[in-house]
Amino acid sequence: MDVPTAFKRIAIAVAAVIAAVLGYQHVPDLPDLLDELTDAAGTSSQTPDAPQAGPLPIAPEDTGAHYDRDDWPHWTYQGDGCDMRDRILIEQGRSVRQGGNCKITEGSWLSSYDGATVTDPGELDIDHMVPLAEVMRSGRIVDGRRVGPRHWSEEKRERYANDPEGLIAVTAATNRAKGDQDPANWLPERDRCGYVRHWVEVKHRYKLSADQDEARAIANVLDNCPGDQRE
Pair (83, 113) in one structural domain: yes
Q: Which is more confidently placed, 47 or 94?
A: 94
Pair (63, 126) in one structural domain: yes
Q: Which is more confidently placed, 229 or 44?
A: 229
Pair (30, 141) in one structural domain: no
Average pLDDT score over residue span 133-142:
97
Total domains in the chain come to 2
In a domain, residue 26? The reply is yes
Judge whether 134 and 65 are in contact, CB under 8 Å: no
Q: Which of 23-32, 55-64, 106-115, 157-166 shows the lowest mean pLDDT across its residues?
A: 23-32
- CB atoms < 10 A from the CB of 91, how many? 11
In a domain, residue 229? The reply is no
Pair (60, 12) in one structural domain: no
Q: Mean pLDDT for the chain?
A: 84
Pair (110, 88) in one structural domain: yes
Pair (69, 167) in one structural domain: yes
In a domain, residue 227? The reply is no
In a domain, residue 230? The reply is no
Per-residue confidence (pLDDT) for residue 41, from 0 to 100: 40
pTM above 0.85, yes or no: no
Q: Round to whole Å and give the CA distance between 85 and 76.
A: 8
Pair (142, 72) in one structural domain: yes
In a domain, residue 128? The reply is yes
Pair (140, 197) in one structural domain: yes
In a domain, residue 166? The reply is yes
Pair (34, 84) in one structural domain: no
Pair (159, 206) in one structural domain: yes
Confidence band of 42 (pLDDT split at 50, 70, 90): very low
Confidence band of 33 (pLDDT split at 50, 70, 90): low
In a domain, residue 231? The reply is no
Q: Which amino acid would we find at residue 144?
A: G
Confidence band of 35 (pLDDT split at 50, 70, 90): low
In a domain, residue 39? The reply is yes
Q: Round to whole Å and give the CA distance between 73 and 160.
A: 9
Pair (160, 132) in one structural domain: yes
Confidence band of 15 (pLDDT split at 50, 70, 90): very low
Domain that holds residue 41: 1-48
Confidence band of 54 (pLDDT split at 50, 70, 90): confident
Residue that terminates a domain, selected from 12, 28, 48: 48
Per-residue confidence (pLDDT) for residue 213, from 0 to 100: 98
Average pLDDT score over residue span 216-224:
97
Pair (41, 114) in one structural domain: no
According to DSSP, the β-strands at 82-83 and 94-98 are unpaired
